[in-house]
Amino acid sequence: MNTSAIMSSEDAKYVDEHKKKIIDKALSEIDEFIKSDDISYDRFYEIANPIIDMEYGFKMIPGIKNMIDIHKSSIGTLYTNKTYSQKSLDEFEKYLDDLEKDLTFKTLKDLVLDSYKVNNASMIMLRYNTSKLEELIKQAGAKKQSDYTVESYLKMLQVKAEAEKWVELCKVYKDPSNETSTLEKKLEKALKDLVPTKPEVEKVKLTLIGENITSTPQAGDIEKGTEIVITLTPDTNKAVKVFTVNDVDKKSKLQDNKYKFNIQENTTVKVEYENKPQIEEKVYTVDVKLLNADGIGSLSMANQYLDSRAKLVIGKENKLMLKLMPMYKENSPTGIIDKIYYYDIDHTKVELKTLETKKIRFFVNMVGKIIFICL
């Protein structure tokens, strides 16, 4: 017997010189076995076993090569770094390259092991990409319990622990069911649902000293930074003498007896009033003439219904008291002057403000009036 038939078959490419010697030796021993008187199946199997193993091995090698090709074609399509870690993908690809390069018959036991490993290579070697989940775990770990409500923080910790357990499992084992994306969403939600504890509001005290002084909001404990409006309501015969804020004079800052500021510290606002000075009133008798409205200074015909002697009062209020007589037409009274105007420097017509009106009697059946005009 010789190896010529084997060397001309498809399996010849897997036969190196060492294997050829094994085959030659086995065939030679079979020839001797046939010629000997010691014919037993045990002895025949012992002689033929290396060839039988090699034959099985030769039949397994194409299947292993096919599985290598399938895995390689899946890298970048079925096996991507979105699902699997780049490190495990690189190691997986290197393993396939090395196996393909060294794919030959060693022993049947080795080929059976290679066949098992290559068929289950993705389960054995690939690891899920948990980089995003690990980053979320890191973010969760940086959260302080004191910054959030107990309930929301404990829920987040529970999901974080679940995610950490999964990450540790993924380092040594590829579970058939990939929970990475599910846990990413759960932890993202737990972080988003954290409820911050309300920061303690810093308060300062506002104190008002004096009469007829109020504030908005009301004096007392007030949140720091709040706008305060101080309002003074002095009696009619009183004026503000002193107005201070924390002993700093702010009287010049009063506008219509109001003062605004943002409170930043304990603040005391103090007001004192004084009596308004009494103004001595003086009364003068003056001559008054009414001019025409044409603006050229000629006297108005209305002067005949005006008592030219008028009283001018200078004091708390400056005013002019005019006596107006009834106007007549055909010896019958028709009315009394009701409004008096003057022309401003820009020729604007301005009505004089009447402070008070009183009826007076000049003669029997002649009723006029006195008007007090504000100057």
Mean pLDDT computed over every residue of the chain: 82
Q: Regarding beta strands 366-374 and 319-324, do their DSSP bridges make them parallel or antiparallel, or are they unpaired?
A: antiparallel
Residues 160-212: tens digit of each pLDDT: 999 999 999 999 989 889 999 999 999 999 999 999 988 778 999 999 999 99
Report the pLDDT averaged over residues 117-137.
93
Instruction: Kindly report which listed range (9-13, 115-119, 236-240, 306-310) carries the lowest average pLDDT score.
Output: 9-13
In whole angstroms, give the CA distance from residue 88 to residue 94: 10
Confidence of residue 253 (pLDDT cuts 50, 70, 90): very high
- Report which of 131, 36, 141, 135 is spatially closest to residue 83, judged by C-alpha positions: 131
Tokens encoding 304: 């005949």
**Amino acid at position 254, single letter:** L
Q: Find all residues with CB under 8 Å of 102, minimum gap 6, and list them.
A: none
d(CA 347, CA 330): 35
Q: What is the spatial distance between Cα 175 and Cα 169, in angstroms, rounded to a whole number?
A: 8
pLDDT in tens, 209-228: 999 999 999 999 999 999 99
pLDDT at 19: 65
- Residues 255-302: tens digit of each pLDDT: 999 999 999 999 999 999 999 877 777 888 888 787 776 656 678 777
Confidence band for 309, pLDDT divided at 50, 70 and 90: confident
Rg (CA), the chain: 57
Angstrom distance (rounded) from CA 201 to CA 224: 8
Cα–Cα distance, 78 to 150 (Å, whole number): 43
Tens digit of each residue's pLDDT (9 = 90 or more) over 21-65: 766 776 776 667 667 776 676 766 666 667 666 666 677 788 889
Please give the pLDDT value at position 195: 93
Sequence-distant (6+) residues with CB within 8 A of 184 are: 132, 133, 136
pLDDT at 10 over 60: no
Does the pLDDT at position 323 exceed 50? yes
Domains of the chain: which residue ranges? 4-125, 131-192, 203-275, 282-374
More confident residue, 328 or 78: 78
- Plot region of 335 (φ>0 → left; ψ -120 to 50 → alpha; else → beta): left
Q: What is the mean pLDDT of residues 112-119?
A: 87
Residue with tokens 């090699």: 54
Is the per-residue pLDDT at 134 higher than 50? yes
